[in-house]
């Protein structure tokens, strides 16, 4: 689906983190719907380097870009020489900033702030130099355990990732005051959908439960999973919000969710229905009590008003649309 009617012919678009989950979906959206635009993907790609928790430092994977015909640059947003090269040798009209240390369990505070906050300032300066609109990924992690529904202005991050994203939002507001470019921060809630597999253990529980079920294993849920509620949003609605944020004079920070909290039990029940299974669930103690979000629900009133955003996928519809890809990934990558 095409979300804006604007002609992007001769426009140049930079997508940082473009080999990751959301960035790659944006790249293919433009290739399909705006083939006359020039799309440049920048990603550090995975190298095997891990964080102290054992998870990969970068989730970028070439397989997320198979079929993409635009320009691809392998590089780190912390590399100031690279950013200088981008400033001198390109002329961007739009920057979609998806690159980040996005692992919420990462303990490297120095790397998190350097990559998520300091490099973002450099990219804002690049946007100003090119008079480019900036659309960037913020996060519902900024809210921590704040009361639902979560609203902009009620932040209480409880990990360094959420803190870094909130710091990005503070920085962007400062630039909004002194610069003429449009700057839009999108606070993603729990995203699931195509091209997330290479996030490994940080991929959505929709995918992880789907693969458990396809393997014939009983789905393993935390005790009380019917009461652990999150705002799960399908990737197509994330893309929609990003594209609608390209409109001029939309600067601000907006939630991107469905405004409906659903349970992990719901995910398993819908998957079993779509996959034609009736496996018995296993319930295990939740080891994350005290550091776990038990209820997230996005207040999207201002997102609707400012961006014209309207979520198109209920969880039932999103999972149904996703199931063929869950099956394909299971056959080609998991088995």
Q: Residue 249 and residue 111: Cα distance in Å, rounded?
A: 33
Q: Residue 159 and residue 163: Cα distance in Å, rounded?
A: 6
Give the end-to-end CA distance of the chain in Å, rounded to a whole number: 32
Sign of the alpha-carbon dihedral angle for 87, 137, 202, 195: negative
Q: Which of 161, 192, 254, 322 is catalytic?
A: 161
Q: Residue 140 and residue 186: Cα distance in Å, rounded?
A: 9
- Considering only CA atoms, which of 250, 252, 77 is closest in space to residue 172? 252
Between strands 94-97 and 12-16, the pairing is parallel
CB 318 within 8 A of CB 207: no
Active site residue 161: yes
Within a 10 A sphere around the Cβ of 13, how many other Cβ atoms?
25
Active site residue 199: yes
CB 19 within 8 A of CB 41: yes
In the structure encoding, which two tokens stand for residue 27, read together? 């790249």
CB 79 within 8 A of CB 43: no
Q: Which of 199, 244, 254, 309 is catalytic?
A: 199
Q: Residue 276 and residue 270: Cα distance in Å, rounded?
A: 10
Contacts 24+ apart (CB under 8 A), 6-9: 6/246, 6/247, 7/36, 8/34, 8/36, 8/37, 9/36, 9/37
What are the catalytic residues?
Answer: 161, 199
């Amino acid at each position: 689906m095409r979300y804006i009617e604007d002609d992007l012919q001769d426009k140049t678009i930079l997508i940082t983190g473009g080999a990751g989950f959301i960035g790659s979906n944006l790249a293919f959206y433009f290739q399909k719907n705006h083939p006359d635009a020039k799309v440049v993907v920048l990603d550090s790609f995975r190298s095997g380097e891990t964080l102290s928790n054992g998870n990969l430092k970068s989730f970028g994977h070439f397989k997320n870009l198979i079929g993409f015909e635009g320009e691809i640059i392998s590089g780190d947003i912390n590399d100031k020489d690279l950013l200088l090269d981008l400033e001198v040798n390109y002329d961007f009209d739009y920057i979609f900033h998806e690159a980040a240390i996005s692992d919420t369990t990462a303990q490297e505070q120095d790397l998190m702030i350097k990559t998520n906050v300091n490099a973002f300032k450099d990219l804002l300066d690049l946007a100003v130099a090119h008079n480019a609109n900036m659309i960037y990924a913020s996060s519902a992690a900024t809210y921590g355990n704040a009361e639902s529904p979560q609203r902009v202005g009620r932040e209480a991050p409880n990990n360094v990732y959420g803190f870094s994203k909130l710091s990005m939002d503070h920085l962007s507001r400062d630039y909004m005051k002194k610069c003429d470019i449009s700057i839009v921060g999108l606070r993603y809630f729990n995203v699931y959908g195509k091209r997330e597999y290479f996030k490994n253990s940080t991929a959505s529980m929709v995918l992880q439960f789907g693969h458990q079920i396809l393997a014939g294993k009983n789905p393993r849920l935390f005790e009380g999973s019917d009461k652990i509620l999150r705002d799960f949003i399908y990737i197509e609605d994330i893309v929609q919000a990003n594209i609608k944020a390209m409109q001029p004079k939309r600067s601000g920070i907006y939630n991107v969710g469905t405004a409906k909290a659903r349970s992990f039990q719901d995910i398993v029940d819908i998957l079993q229905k779509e996959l034609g299974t009736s496996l018995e669930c296993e319930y295990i103690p939740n080891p994350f009590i005290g550091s776990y979000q038990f209820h997230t629900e996005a207040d999207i009133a201002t997102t609707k008003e400012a961006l014209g955003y309207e979520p198109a996928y209920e969880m039932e519809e999103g999972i149904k649309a996703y199931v063929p890809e869950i099956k394909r990934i299971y056959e080609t990558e998991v088995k």
